[in-house]
Chains A and B, each alone.
Chain A
Amino acid sequence: MENLLTGDVLSQLFSANRAVADASTHAMLLEAILDNAIDDSHASTIRPDRCVLLKTTQERSPTDFVIVAAWDCLSEKVPAVGTVYNVQTLPILRFLAGGETVVLRGAADTRLSDLDRVMLAEATNGLLLPLRAGRRWAGALIIGMRSETPFDATRVQYYEALADVSALSLYNISSATQVARVSSLLNSLIEHGHYAQIVTDPNGLITDWSPAAEALYGYPIEHTINKPLSLLAPEADAETVLEQYRTVAREQRTVQQQAKRIAQSGQMLDVLMTLYPVYGRSDTVIGVGEISIDHSDRAPLQDAIQKERDHLEAILEATNDAIIMLDIDRRVVTANIQFENFFGLPRYSLVGRTVDDLLRQVQSKPELPNALYNIFVTLSGDDYGSAAGDLEIEVNSRRILVWYSAPVHAHEGTTLGRLFVFRDATQEREADRMKTDFVSLVSHELRTPLTSLKGFTDLIMDGDAGPLEGPVREYMKIIQFNTDRLISLVNDILDVTRLESGHIDLRRTSVDLTDAAASAVAPMRLIFEGKQQSLVMHIPKGLPLVWVDLSRLIQILTNLISNASKYTPTDGTIRVEARHIVEAADLPASAPPSLKLPMILVSVHDTGMGIAPEHQAQLFTRFYRTPTSVKRQLAGTGLGLSIVKSFVELHGGNIWFESEVDHGSSFYFTLPIAG
């Protein structure tokens, strides 16, 4: 077809097209057409006398048309919007089927029926234009003029061009109306925070981004427009995601899927989404839309549970302890690799099995000790108790296991089952033993030089080497005193080491406390005399014998009495007493509760400086020395009382004290009665 549109007409068409294309409502579209109609001179625009915009919903072969907008210069002639016409009610519509423009020629036009004339409202010239976008029907446009000048070819071509754009516009307005309706539905869903809408171009570049998308993914719109949608995809999926969008655009398919998306925060989201092609004018796909809903509330929970499980498993596997857990039905819930290693029982044969099954397997392995069997037998039926102990096994290698078992409770307090943990203490026991051996060796090695040191000092002091003059005697005395200190220190260290390692054996006999006290006091006579202290012993005759290791009892008494002397000034009194205690009422008020009765209570009282309340709590702590004793340079290692306490307790007794600054201290300890 020859292009008749040139010059001013063409430029008019461009501006008309723009106005028509921009119309977002039927009324605006009608207005745009009216404003851009040209007169018969083609030189200027002129409003047609009549213009009716009809729309159809049958895109392939329309039969019904509805008036969506209409105008007439005679207002009473304006047809009603919403009136539906078909070939019966408006016969001229039949000419549209061919898709051609019908040029109307007023009353003289024989093709027009009365019904048509009503619609044209006495217009003498006009056009009936099909509005189509490609093969799809949008509607029809009627333009009428009451002038005598018929529409020439240029005008027809102009209006046909305008009709093409109008068809697109009409179609888009319809879509827009529909989209608006869907949008309002979606928006109400968006209100609930679940639906996010994203539109991309056919290549996956984001062109639209809803507030809900921002809410879901965290990115504000300005950070997403013109960015590839792969922004939201896990890095490894980026290309796949873009390709999927391109496929949706290319194949014009709607896809529903579940996918992983990553929010701006880095959080992984599980998203349910619908991808759909977005059509532009001329039926072409202009992009891809995505409506998505966050599905993460479930998927991540499962992920989190799995992750938690993985963490626990990793910790269980990484730990050096053997761990086995039973649930409340006494089935093995967990056994770690170390359990397998320590006991040679494969986990797959344990997990999920009952404790009876476990016991059978323990029994069937002769190298496993009965003690292990007993641990499981005793504790598997116990919902409350905790227990601990040592266990020696030799499965792959000899091991000393320190074990404990305790019930496991859930957060809210319900019992989940019971845990057994076995820690390999072989090496630390070995290290302990080596330390004990070392200390013992050193202590004994020290004894040889100390023997000479003490021996010759004593010889000199006893006058074996001749009389001692003035300062020599004084200095020798210092050497003698310090040699004895050194010897006590070595002895104390040995005792502490033995107590620590448990290598202390008591040899108990029935002991008369009077004899023991006499043995303890005898070597100290000189000290008391030197300090002019008086020692008062009050041990009643007929006191029951005590069941103790005599040498340890002497050690206890020696320590307490020498302490009393040390911290008591010249002229003070040290009192040693013993009583047979049968009833708790006979105990001093300071006695700890629930002492085993009957027993013998021994006490050592002094009239010394006393112990300040703030130092009392630590008095039995190893190496603890009160600031006073340090300041006064009183001899002592801070080991004596801790050793005394250990020895008393080894005998099954208790030790405690009462003290008041400047009023002296009283140390009490209890001993078991013989027989």
Chain B
Amino acid sequence: MSFILVAEDDPYIQLLITRKLQNAGFEVRSATNGNEALTVAVRDVPKLLLLDVMLPDRNGLDVCREVKRQLEGKAPPVIIISARGQLADVDAAKQAGADDYLIKPFAPSDLLAHVQKLMAR
């Protein structure tokens, strides 16, 4: 079962990402908060994890760190999606174990490109 897990609390962005990825042929599952994302990610281990930073219950970086820690070598690549794009923000994401970083607002084609690049690994 290969799916991409998208954790994003804004329903429209959630829909946007889902549709774009589905249109590209990916299976997409969604989570609307951090704990849900962590539970699903650890239990079902997606092919890729897209994490918004500002989730309602906990920080996306936190979830990323947890997923990487708990799944160790089995952990999926993580793309952090954030409205903040300062170098410090990007650095913090790398520190948390993120593999890529996407700044809002993004072009859906960009998102897809980033996803495909990581999935090809």
**Most B CB within 10 A of own CB, among A451, A453, A458:** A451
The segment from A178-186, A404-412, A442-450, A644-652 that touches chain B is A442-450
On whether the beta carbons of B23 and A450 are closer than 8 Å, the reply is no
Which residue from A445, A452, A458, A487 sits with its C-beta under 8 Å from B12?
Answer: A452
> Would you give the shortest CB distance from A494 to chain B, in whole angstroms?
9
In the complex, the answer to whether B106 meets A505 with C-beta atoms within 8 Å is: no
Question: Are A462's CB and B108's CB within 8 A?
Answer: yes
User: Are B10 and A505 in contact (CB-based, < 8 A)?
Assistant: no
Residues from chain A with a CB closer than 8 A to the CB of B17 are: 455
Q: Mark A463-478, 1 if CB is under 8 A from B, else 0.
A: 0100000000000000
The verdict on A451 contacting B87 (CB below 8 Å), with A459-B16, A459-B19, A464-B20 known, is no
CB within 8 A of B16: which of A444, A456, A487, A505? A456
Tally of chain A residues near chain B (CB < 8 A): 18
Q: What's the least CB distance linking A485 to chain B, in Å? A: 12
Residue A507 lies at the interface, judged by CB distance under 8 Å to chain B: yes
Which of the four size classes fits the interface of chain B?
10 to 19
Give the distance in Å from the alpha carbon of A459 to the alpha carbon of B108 in the complex. 7
- Asked whether any CB of chain B lies closer than 8 Å to the CB of A454, the reply is yes
- Please determine whether A459 and B104 come into contact, CB atoms closer than 8 angstroms: no
Q: Which residue from A448, A450, A451, A464 sits with its C-beta under 8 Å from B19?
A: A464
Mark A44-81 against chain B: 1 for CB-CB distance below 8 A, else 0.
00000000000000000000000000000000000000
Is A507's CB under 8 angstroms from B87's CB? yes
Residues of B near A450 (CB, < 8 A) are: 104-105
Taken together as a complex, chains A and B put the C-alpha atoms of A455 and B105 apart, in Å, by 8
Return chain A residues, CB-CB under 8 Å to B109. Answer: 458, 462
Task: Say yes or no for B71: interface residue by CB 8 A criterion.
Answer: no
Please give the distance in Å from A398's CB to the nearest CB on chain B.
24
Closest to B14 in A: A452
Are A448 and B104 closer than 8 Å at their CB atoms?
yes
Docked complex: B1-28 residues within 8 A CB-CB of A: 10, 12-13, 16-17, 19-20, 23
CA distance A459 to B17 in the complex (A): 10
Residue contact A455 to B20, C-beta cutoff 8 Å: yes
Task: Determine the chain B residues whose CB is within 8 A of the CB of A507 once the complex forms.
Answer: 87
Chain B residues with CB below 8 A from A445, complex form: 83
CB atoms of B83 and A448 under 8 A apart: yes
Distance (whole angstroms) from the CB of B79 to the closest CB of chain A: 14
**Contacting A448 at CB < 8 Å: which of B13, B20, B23, B88?**
B13
Q: Are A451 and B20 in touch, CB under 8 angstroms?
A: no
| Interface residue ranges, A against B (CB under 8 Å) | 444-445, 447-448, 450-456, 458-459, 462, 464, 487, 505, 507
Q: Which 5 A-B pairs have the closest CB atoms?
A: A447-B83, A451-B105, A455-B16, A452-B12, A444-B83
Since A452-B13, A455-B20 are in contact, a sample of 8 more A-B pairs with Cβ atoms closer than 8 Å, ordered by chain A residue number, is A450-B104, A451-B106, A452-B12, A454-B107, A455-B16, A455-B106, A456-B16, A459-B20
Task: Offer 6 A-B interface pairs, CB within 8 angstroms, sorted by A.
Answer: A447-B105, A448-B83, A451-B10, A452-B16, A454-B105, A458-B109
Chain B residues near A (Cβ < 8 Å): 10, 12-13, 16-17, 19-20, 23, 83-84, 86-88, 104-109
